[in-house]
Amino acid sequence: MKDRRGFTLIEILLGMAIFSVIGLTLYTTFAVGVELSRRNEVLLRTNREALWTFERMSRDLGKIVAYDFSGSYPDQSSFFPGQASLGFLTASDRGLKAVRYRLRSADDGTVQETVIGETFSGNVAVVTKTVEEKPVVDFVREEQDFGDFLQTGFDGAQSEVMSRFVLRDGLEFSYATKESQEAAELQWVGNWTATFLPQGVRVKLTIAAGDSGEETSWVRDIFIPQGESVGD
Protein backbone atom coordinates (compact mmCIF):
# COMPACT_ATOMS: atom_id res chain seq x y z
CA MET A 1 0.00 0.00 0.00
CA LYS A 2 1.12 3.50 -0.78
CA ASP A 3 1.96 5.82 2.11
CA ARG A 4 -0.91 8.32 2.49
CA ARG A 5 -0.51 11.32 4.80
CA GLY A 6 -3.02 14.03 5.84
CA PHE A 7 -3.00 16.95 8.25
CA THR A 8 -2.38 16.19 11.82
CA LEU A 9 -4.58 17.61 14.57
CA ILE A 10 -1.85 20.01 15.60
CA GLU A 11 -1.51 21.33 12.04
CA ILE A 12 -5.26 21.83 11.78
CA LEU A 13 -5.39 23.70 15.11
CA LEU A 14 -2.41 25.84 14.10
CA GLY A 15 -4.04 26.70 10.78
CA MET A 16 -7.30 27.65 12.49
CA ALA A 17 -5.40 29.85 14.93
CA ILE A 18 -3.58 31.67 12.13
CA PHE A 19 -6.83 32.11 10.19
CA SER A 20 -8.56 33.47 13.31
CA VAL A 21 -5.79 36.01 13.92
CA ILE A 22 -5.94 37.21 10.31
CA GLY A 23 -9.74 37.42 10.40
CA LEU A 24 -9.74 39.31 13.70
CA THR A 25 -7.15 41.76 12.36
CA LEU A 26 -9.17 42.42 9.22
CA TYR A 27 -12.39 42.87 11.21
CA THR A 28 -10.73 45.25 13.68
CA THR A 29 -9.26 47.32 10.84
CA PHE A 30 -12.65 47.49 9.11
CA ALA A 31 -14.48 48.42 12.32
CA VAL A 32 -11.97 51.17 13.10
CA GLY A 33 -12.33 52.53 9.57
CA VAL A 34 -16.13 52.59 9.83
CA GLU A 35 -15.98 54.38 13.20
CA LEU A 36 -13.52 56.98 11.91
CA SER A 37 -15.70 57.57 8.86
CA ARG A 38 -18.77 58.03 11.07
CA ARG A 39 -16.97 60.46 13.38
CA ASN A 40 -15.61 62.45 10.45
CA GLU A 41 -19.09 62.68 8.99
CA VAL A 42 -20.47 64.00 12.30
CA LEU A 43 -17.65 66.53 12.61
CA LEU A 44 -18.16 67.73 9.03
CA ARG A 45 -21.86 68.16 9.69
CA THR A 46 -21.31 70.24 12.83
CA ASN A 47 -18.62 72.26 11.07
CA ARG A 48 -21.01 73.07 8.22
CA GLU A 49 -23.66 74.10 10.72
CA ALA A 50 -21.28 76.44 12.53
CA LEU A 51 -19.94 77.99 9.33
CA TRP A 52 -23.44 78.51 7.94
CA THR A 53 -24.56 80.04 11.23
CA PHE A 54 -21.69 82.53 11.25
CA GLU A 55 -22.30 83.39 7.62
CA ARG A 56 -25.99 84.05 8.30
CA MET A 57 -25.19 86.21 11.32
CA SER A 58 -22.60 88.16 9.33
CA ARG A 59 -25.17 88.93 6.65
CA ASP A 60 -27.75 90.06 9.20
CA LEU A 61 -25.31 92.24 11.14
CA GLY A 62 -24.01 93.67 7.87
CA LYS A 63 -27.51 95.14 7.29
CA ILE A 64 -28.06 96.29 10.86
CA VAL A 65 -30.12 99.46 11.34
CA ALA A 66 -29.58 101.88 14.23
CA TYR A 67 -33.19 103.00 14.65
CA ASP A 68 -34.02 105.93 16.92
CA PHE A 69 -37.23 105.23 18.84
CA SER A 70 -37.12 108.37 20.98
CA GLY A 71 -39.98 109.99 19.08
CA SER A 72 -42.68 107.37 19.70
CA TYR A 73 -41.20 104.43 21.65
CA PRO A 74 -38.67 105.91 24.08
CA ASP A 75 -38.31 102.63 25.98
CA GLN A 76 -37.59 100.61 22.85
CA SER A 77 -34.15 99.88 21.39
CA SER A 78 -32.91 98.71 18.00
CA PHE A 79 -30.08 96.66 19.53
CA PHE A 80 -30.83 94.36 22.46
CA PRO A 81 -27.81 92.26 23.33
CA GLY A 82 -27.03 89.76 26.08
CA GLN A 83 -24.39 87.20 26.94
CA ALA A 84 -26.43 84.30 25.54
CA SER A 85 -28.77 86.07 23.08
CA LEU A 86 -28.52 88.81 20.50
CA GLY A 87 -31.32 90.82 18.89
CA PHE A 88 -31.29 93.78 16.52
CA LEU A 89 -33.08 95.46 13.63
CA THR A 90 -31.95 94.73 10.11
CA ALA A 91 -32.95 95.92 6.64
CA SER A 92 -34.54 93.60 4.08
CA ASP A 93 -36.25 93.86 0.69
CA ARG A 94 -39.59 93.97 2.54
CA GLY A 95 -38.62 96.63 5.05
CA LEU A 96 -37.24 96.48 8.57
CA LYS A 97 -37.06 93.15 10.39
CA ALA A 98 -36.32 92.29 13.99
CA VAL A 99 -33.88 89.38 14.27
CA ARG A 100 -32.79 87.47 17.34
CA TYR A 101 -30.34 84.61 17.87
CA ARG A 102 -30.65 82.51 21.00
CA LEU A 103 -30.69 79.01 22.48
CA ARG A 104 -33.95 77.20 22.94
CA SER A 105 -34.91 73.76 24.23
CA ALA A 106 -36.02 71.40 21.48
CA ASP A 107 -39.52 71.08 22.97
CA ASP A 108 -40.18 74.84 23.27
CA GLY A 109 -42.09 74.98 20.01
CA THR A 110 -42.29 74.13 16.34
CA VAL A 111 -39.45 75.43 14.20
CA GLN A 112 -38.51 75.37 10.57
CA GLU A 113 -35.48 73.33 9.59
CA THR A 114 -32.56 75.22 8.06
CA VAL A 115 -31.09 74.01 4.79
CA ILE A 116 -27.36 74.57 4.88
CA GLY A 117 -26.03 76.23 1.77
CA GLU A 118 -22.65 77.51 0.66
CA THR A 119 -20.39 78.38 3.59
CA PHE A 120 -17.34 80.56 4.12
CA SER A 121 -14.79 80.16 6.90
CA GLY A 122 -13.78 83.82 7.15
CA ASN A 123 -12.37 85.02 10.45
CA VAL A 124 -12.91 81.81 12.47
CA ALA A 125 -10.84 80.19 15.21
CA VAL A 126 -11.57 76.54 16.00
CA VAL A 127 -10.68 74.47 19.07
CA THR A 128 -11.58 70.77 19.29
CA LYS A 129 -11.42 68.69 22.46
CA THR A 130 -12.92 65.56 23.97
CA VAL A 131 -15.41 65.89 26.80
CA GLU A 132 -18.11 63.88 28.50
CA GLU A 133 -21.53 63.84 26.90
CA LYS A 134 -23.53 66.97 27.76
CA PRO A 135 -27.15 68.00 27.13
CA VAL A 136 -27.69 69.93 23.92
CA VAL A 137 -30.30 72.49 22.83
CA ASP A 138 -31.35 74.17 19.62
CA PHE A 139 -29.67 77.33 18.40
CA VAL A 140 -32.40 79.28 16.63
CA ARG A 141 -32.77 82.40 14.54
CA GLU A 142 -36.04 84.31 15.03
CA GLU A 143 -37.37 86.90 12.61
CA GLN A 144 -40.31 89.27 13.12
CA ASP A 145 -41.77 92.02 10.94
CA PHE A 146 -41.01 95.47 12.32
CA GLY A 147 -44.65 96.40 12.92
CA ASP A 148 -45.42 93.14 14.72
CA PHE A 149 -42.23 93.50 16.75
CA LEU A 150 -43.36 96.88 18.05
CA GLN A 151 -46.64 95.36 19.19
CA THR A 152 -45.72 91.89 20.48
CA GLY A 153 -41.94 91.61 20.46
CA PHE A 154 -40.86 88.18 19.22
CA ASP A 155 -44.13 86.44 20.11
CA GLY A 156 -45.17 84.50 17.02
CA ALA A 157 -41.89 85.19 15.21
CA GLN A 158 -40.76 82.85 12.46
CA SER A 159 -38.05 80.55 13.80
CA GLU A 160 -35.49 78.32 12.16
CA VAL A 161 -32.97 75.96 13.69
CA MET A 162 -29.36 76.77 12.90
CA SER A 163 -28.04 73.81 14.90
CA ARG A 164 -29.57 71.12 17.12
CA PHE A 165 -26.35 70.20 18.89
CA VAL A 166 -25.27 73.31 20.80
CA LEU A 167 -24.33 72.77 24.43
CA ARG A 168 -26.76 74.24 26.92
CA ASP A 169 -24.16 76.84 27.92
CA GLY A 170 -22.45 76.86 24.52
CA LEU A 171 -23.42 80.31 23.23
CA GLU A 172 -21.64 83.48 24.31
CA PHE A 173 -21.62 87.02 22.93
CA SER A 174 -19.18 89.79 23.71
CA TYR A 175 -19.01 93.29 22.24
CA ALA A 176 -16.22 95.47 20.88
CA THR A 177 -15.69 99.03 22.03
CA LYS A 178 -12.93 101.63 22.23
CA GLU A 179 -11.82 103.65 25.20
CA SER A 180 -11.78 106.69 22.94
CA GLN A 181 -12.18 107.57 19.30
CA GLU A 182 -8.41 107.84 18.99
CA ALA A 183 -7.74 104.37 20.47
CA ALA A 184 -6.39 101.86 17.98
CA GLU A 185 -7.27 98.62 19.77
CA LEU A 186 -10.71 97.25 20.53
CA GLN A 187 -11.78 96.01 23.93
CA TRP A 188 -14.27 93.16 24.28
CA VAL A 189 -16.88 93.31 27.03
CA GLY A 190 -19.50 90.79 28.08
CA ASN A 191 -22.31 93.31 28.64
CA TRP A 192 -23.41 96.12 26.37
CA THR A 193 -25.55 98.89 27.84
CA ALA A 194 -24.66 101.82 25.57
CA THR A 195 -27.32 103.39 23.34
CA PHE A 196 -25.07 103.28 20.26
CA LEU A 197 -23.96 100.21 18.33
CA PRO A 198 -20.75 98.41 19.29
CA GLN A 199 -17.86 98.17 16.88
CA GLY A 200 -18.38 94.45 16.54
CA VAL A 201 -19.74 91.25 18.05
CA ARG A 202 -17.66 88.23 19.08
CA VAL A 203 -19.62 84.99 18.93
CA LYS A 204 -18.51 81.79 20.66
CA LEU A 205 -20.48 78.70 19.71
CA THR A 206 -19.81 75.25 21.14
CA ILE A 207 -21.36 72.34 19.27
CA ALA A 208 -21.37 68.73 20.49
CA ALA A 209 -20.54 66.23 17.75
CA GLY A 210 -23.40 63.81 18.32
CA ASP A 211 -22.64 60.81 20.54
CA SER A 212 -18.93 60.77 19.75
CA GLY A 213 -18.14 62.66 22.96
CA GLU A 214 -16.38 65.53 21.20
CA GLU A 215 -17.19 69.20 21.21
CA THR A 216 -16.01 71.92 18.87
CA SER A 217 -15.80 75.54 19.97
CA TRP A 218 -15.98 78.18 17.26
CA VAL A 219 -15.12 81.85 17.76
CA ARG A 220 -15.80 84.53 15.18
CA ASP A 221 -15.50 88.31 15.27
CA ILE A 222 -18.19 90.06 13.23
CA PHE A 223 -17.65 93.78 12.74
CA ILE A 224 -20.65 96.09 12.53
CA PRO A 225 -20.84 98.88 9.94
CA GLN A 226 -21.11 102.25 11.64
CA GLY A 227 -23.48 104.88 10.31
CA GLU A 228 -26.08 107.45 11.22
CA SER A 229 -29.28 106.48 13.01
CA VAL A 230 -32.68 106.50 11.36
CA GLY A 231 -35.86 107.21 13.27
CA ASP A 232 -39.56 107.91 13.27
What is the pLDDT, as a whole number, of residue 203?
92
What is the pLDDT, as a whole number, of residue 227?
61
Residue 213 DSSP symbol? S
Per-residue pLDDT averaged across 17-26, rounded?
81
Per-range mean pLDDT, top range of 28-32, 179-183, 209-213, 217-221:
217-221
Angle (CA) 38-33-218 rounded to 5° is: 40
The answer, yes or no, to whether residue 147 has pLDDT greater than 80, is yes
Q: Are the CB atoms for 194 and 177 separated by under 8 Å?
A: yes
Separation of alpha carbons 105 and 53, rounded Å: 18
Give residue 121's pLDDT band: very low, low, confident or very high (50, 70, 90). Answer: very low
What backbone phi and psi angles, to 5 degrees, belong to 34? -65, -40
Weakest mean pLDDT among 29-33, 58-62, 74-78, 109-113: 109-113
